[in-house]
Amino acid sequence: MVLGQLDVGEPAGVQEIELRRYRCLGCGTVLVVGPWDLLPGMLYSLVTVVLALAHWALGTKTGSVRARLGAFAVVGVAGRLSWRSLRRWSQWAAEGLLLANVRASVSGTRRERAARWVHILAGVGPPELPLPVRALAGAKHYR
């Protein structure tokens, strides 16, 4: 089970995915294989994380980002709600914990750190696409 979106334009929610398991005949180790955007220990997909940080970096209010990309319905006015995951993800991104090859400066506000990380990813994507989609292309490149 993974939360959020699995691709741009898909509805956010709780997604059921299948993982393949392989056992090494030599040593008995089990290898689990899944989609590229699954991150160990995280409930949300990397697609959701990148898109959420990109929209947040562009100035979208936290509650609106959550209403658009969160897995569960939001009760209340979207503009006034927070999403603690965004703050946590921006810290992890800056420290290189989301994508090991991509780090941003850990100085500045959380939104500024998220913006730097998103722009690093977007530098790999096609320039004619919107920033969130370019950042997602960069995440695929670095993953």
Digit-coded pLDDT (tens) for 31-73? 999 888 888 888 999 999 999 999 999 999 988 899 889 888 7
Instruction: Tell me the C-alpha to C-alpha distance, in Å, between residue 62 and each of 1, 87, 143.
Output: 24, 10, 26
What pLDDT is stored for residue 100 in this prediction?
82
What pLDDT is stored for residue 45 in this prediction?
92
| pLDDT surpasses 90 at 8 | no
Q: Which residues pair with 20 in a beta bridge?
A: 33
Average pLDDT over residues 68-81: 71
Q: Are 71 and 13 in contact (CB under 8 A)?
A: yes
